[in-house]
Amino acid sequence: MEKKQIDWSNIGFGYMQTEKRYVSNFKNGAWDDGELTSDANIVLNECAGVLQYAQTVFEGMKAYTTEDGRTVVFRPDLNAQRMVDSAKRLEMPPFPAERFLDAVNQVVKANEAYVPPYGSGASLYLRPYMFGSNAVIGVKPADEYQFRVFATPVGPYFKGGAKPLTIKVSDFDRAAPHGTGHIKAGLNYAMSLHAIVTAHAEGYDENMYLDAATRTFVEETGGANFLFITKDNKVVTPKSDSILPSITRRSLLYVAEHYLNLEVEEREVPFEEVKEFAECGLCGTAAVISPVGKIVDHGKEICFPSGMEQMGPTIQKLYDTLTGIQMGYIEAPEGWVMEVK
């Protein structure tokens, strides 16, 4: 397989059109067979459900080249299941999990020239998504849907080392109790845009959202879950029904427990406790873990002992172990890596 001539380490995180994408349509109560297409554009009725009432859910995952030259995707079965859960919550017909895996496999295979080589730090980002496609003017679920998967190469997340982030405690809420915070819906992102643009304008990298009901417990950021390390080296992550269940976070907790022999706690985390932690990180597919150096709560600064120059030691170990599993030089738990064939 001849790779594209791309400056892999400098492409950043942006959309680059690749050759093939997968499309399947739901009509008259059933999904069609689906196929790869070269057409990157979608033609929709002006009144399509997604355009009027935001009936859309998505996933995000990566394909990459392992040390021994295989093309793999990390735990796509969990993305498939999460998309089923997301679809159900928005009254959309779930795309079957086994077909999701087949679609991902087909898209990566058809765009293998865009899977960055081992060692580049880059990867092929995959975006499965689905949306209501027929005209809907009264408020109700659409009758027709489209499921798609496209691929776009993205550069290494940390160029020139992982710089700890500064985040602010947001005055906005991300998700209501009993709302849609636990599903991967575009609508959760639409309403977070004002908060992140505001945070950036004030010089912060990210927002920390607290629970909307009491504003006393830590939830997550706009697109990543929190991980904290206590001074006695326990791994703590917030538990809440309105947090998006990050696959990276779930994988890191497993790694902490089974590879690093660390104690793990998934529980409510009062914001008051945050100043007691030794390290803090944000986890998601994009970065695996981004270290957090400082959290600012209305002028009051919490500075973690790990500082503003590098990852803390335990977060570094978690990062190294999970990326080692992904890249194939540390043995993966059964079923964690899907080889593209």
Ligand X SMILES: *Cc1c(COP(=O)(O)O)cnc(C)c1O
Q: Which residues bind ligand X (CB under 6 A)?
A: 60, 184, 220, 223-225, 244, 246-249, 283-285
Residue 204 or 209 with smaller CB distance to ligand X: 209
Q: How far is the CB of 299 from ligand X (least distance, A)?
A: 26
For residue 53, what is the enclosing H or E element? helix 49-53
306-312, Cβ contacts within 8 angstroms, sequence gap of 24 or more: 306/164, 306/278, 306/279, 306/280, 307/164, 308/163, 308/164, 308/166, 309/163, 309/164, 310/161, 310/162, 310/164, 311/162, 311/164, 311/279, 311/281, 312/229, 312/278, 312/279, 312/280, 312/281
Active-site choice (20, 168, 184, 294):
184
Measured from the CB of residue 185, what is the shortest distance to ligand X in angstroms? Answer: 9
Q: Say if CB 33 and CB 99 are below 8 A apart.
A: no
Q: How far is the CB of 173 from ligand X (least distance, A)?
A: 13
- Concerning whether 300 is annotated as a catalytic residue, the answer is no
With beta carbons less than 8 A apart as the criterion, state whether 304 and 278 touch: yes
Return the number of the residue (207 or 225) whose C-beta is nearest ligand X. 225
Burial class (CB in 10 A: 0-12, 13-18, 19+), 179: middle
Residue placing its CB nearer to ligand X in the complex, 20 or 249: 249
CB of 86 to ligand X, least distance (A): 10
Given the complex with ligand X, which of 34 and 76 has the nearer CB atom?
A: 76
Active site residues: 184
